[in-house]
Amino acid sequence: KQEVTQIPAALSVPEGENLVLNCSFTDSAIYNLQWFRQDPGKGLTSLLLIQSSQREQTSGRLNASLDKSSGRSTLYIAASQPGDSATYLCAVFFYNQGGKLIFGQGTELSVKP
């Protein structure tokens, strides 16, 4: 069964810290991996998408990496701010899934002032 796992489930850091969120997946046969942000009571906002042929993508203070062979992706957030507090979800588009994304459970990030 193709699965996506995110560890830790929750993370609390002081403002200004650099941090890494982890995502692992069970099958290296993927088309792409997408990172989302979800604020409480809100929908999902796409942050970064990494295609299977890419190793990383960057947007502002965010950098996402992809290592298909080890089944891992990381989301690096530089100089964290209280406004970064949210739940971060990783989702993978596997081969043979008919266009379906498989989601991890998310990491709830809290950045303390």
Partner 1 sequence: NAGVTQTPKFRILKIGQSMTLQCTQDMNHNYMYWYRQDPGMGLKLIYYSVGAGITDKGEVPNGYNVSRSTTEDFPLRLELAAPSQTSVYFCASSYPIGQGFSYEQYFGPGTRLTVT
Contacts with partner 1 by CB under 8 A lie at 31-32, 34, 36, 41-46, 49, 51-53, 89, 91, 93, 98-101, 103-106
CB of 11 to partner 1, least distance (A): 15
Give Cα 50 distance to the centre of its chain. 10
Q: Closest CB to partner 1 among 15 and 67?
A: 67
C-beta neighbour count of 10 within 10 angstroms: 10
CB of 87 to partner 1, least distance (A): 10
61-71 CB burial, b ≥16 within 10 A, e <16: ebbbbbebeeb
CB of 49 to partner 1, least distance (A): 5
Give the type of residue at 57: Q
Q: Closest CB to partner 1 among 3 and 17?
A: 3
Q: Closest CB to partner 1 among 57 and 80?
A: 57
CB of 9 to partner 1, least distance (A): 9
Gap between the terminal Cα atoms of the chain: 41
